[in-house]
Structure 1
Amino acid sequence: MTRPALTDDRRGIAERPPGGVRRPVTPTARRRKAKGLVTITLFLLPALVLFGLLVLAPILIASYTSFFKWNGLGGFPTQFIGLDNYTRLLEDPVFLGDLWRGGLLIVLSVIIQLPLSLGLAMLLNQRMRGRAFYRLLFFAPYVLSEVITGVLFTMILSPDGGLANQILRAIGLSSLESSWLAEPSTVMYSVFIVMTWKYFGFHMILYLAGRQSIPRELNEAAAIDGAGTWAQFRYVTLPLLGPTIRISIFLSIIGTIQLFDLVWVLTAGGPIHSSETMAITMFQFGFKRTNIGYASAISVAMFLISLIFALGYQRFVMRRDTEGAITTMRDAR
Structure 2
Amino acid sequence: MRRVFNRGIEHKKARWGWLFVIPSLAFFAVFSFYPIINAFYTSLFRKRLLDLRPPKFIGFANYEYLLKSPDFWNSVKATSIFTLGTFIPIVVFSLLLAVFIMSRRRFQKFFQMVYYSPAVLSSVVAAAIWLLIFDPRGLANTTMNTLLGTVGKDYKWLATAGMVRLSTILVYFWKYIGYFTIIYITGLASIPQSLHEAAQIDGANGWKDFWHITLPLLKPTTVLVSIMSMLQCLKTFSTQYLFTQSGAPTQPINVITLNIYNTAIRDHDIGRASAMSIILFGIMLFFTWLQFRVSKSGGEVDY
Name the amino acid aligned to 1:204.
T
After superposition, the Cα gap between the structure-2 partners of 1:127 and 1:274, relative to the gap in structure 1 and judged at 3 Å, is: closer
Pick aligned residue for 2:141 from 141, 165, 169: 165
Which ranges of structure 2 fall in alignment gaps of 5 or more residues?
Answer: none
1:101-124 deviation per Cα after TM superposition (whole angstroms, max 9, x unaligned): 222223223442221111111111
Pick aligned residue for 2:92 from 105, 115, 118: 115
Pick aligned residue for 1:249 from 214, 226, 240: 226
Distance apart, 1:285 and its partner CA: 0.6
Match of 1:181 in 2: 158
Q: Percent identity?
A: 31
Pick aligned residue for 1:207 from 184, 197, 201: 184
After superposition, the Cα gap between the structure-2 partners of 1:311 and 1:111, relative to the gap in structure 1 and judged at 3 Å, is: closer
Q: Does structure 1 conserve the Cα–Cα contact (< 8 Å) formed by 2:49 and 2:269? A: yes
Pick aligned residue for 2:273 from 295, 301, 309: 295
Greater RCO (CA < 8 Å, at least 6 residues apart): 2
3-state DSSP class of the match of 1:181?
coil
Distance apart, 1:256 and its partner CA: 1.2
Q: Distance in 2 between matches of 1:142 and 1:196?
A: 10
Pick aligned residue for 1:228 from 193, 201, 205: 205
Please, what is the CA RMSD of the aligned residues? 2.6
Name the amino acid aligned to 2:140.
A
Distance apart, 1:294 and its partner CA: 0.5
3-state DSSP class of the match of 2:57?
coil
Larger-gyration structure (1/2)? 1
Scaled by the length of structure 2, the TM-score of the pair is 0.88
Q: Distance in 2 between matches of 1:108 and 1:67?
A: 34
Match of 1:50 in 2: 27
Q: Does structure 1 conserve the Cα–Cα contact (< 8 Å) formed by 2:87 and 2:233? A: no
Distance apart, 1:37 and its partner CA: 5.7
Q: Does structure 1 conserve the Cα–Cα contact (< 8 Å) formed by 2:157 and 2:163? A: yes
1:275-326 deviation per Cα after TM superposition (whole angstroms, max 9, x unaligned): 11111100111112110010010001011111222223223324679xxxxx
After superposition, the Cα gap between the structure-2 partners of 1:79 and 1:174, relative to the gap in structure 1 and judged at 3 Å, is: farther
Query: Aligned residues, how many?
Result: 298
Distance apart, 1:195 and its partner CA: 0.9
Q: Distance in 1 between matches of 2:129 and 2:274?
A: 32
Q: Does structure 1 conserve the Cα–Cα contact (< 8 Å) formed by 2:244 and 2:250? A: no
Which ranges of structure 1 fall in alignment gaps of 5 or more residues?
Answer: 1-6, 15-28, 322-333
2:119 corresponds to 1:142: yes
Q: Distance in 1 between matches of 2:69 and 2:62?
A: 10
Q: Does structure 2 conserve the Cα–Cα contact (< 8 Å) formed by 1:71 and 1:291? A: yes
More helix by share: 2
Q: Does structure 2 conserve the Cα–Cα contact (< 8 Å) formed by 1:168 and 1:174? A: no
Q: Distance in 2 between matches of 1:174 and 1:151?
A: 26
Match of 1:324 in 2: none
Question: For structure 1, which segment, 198-207 or 220-229, has the greater mean C-alpha deviation from structure 2 after superposition?
Answer: 220-229
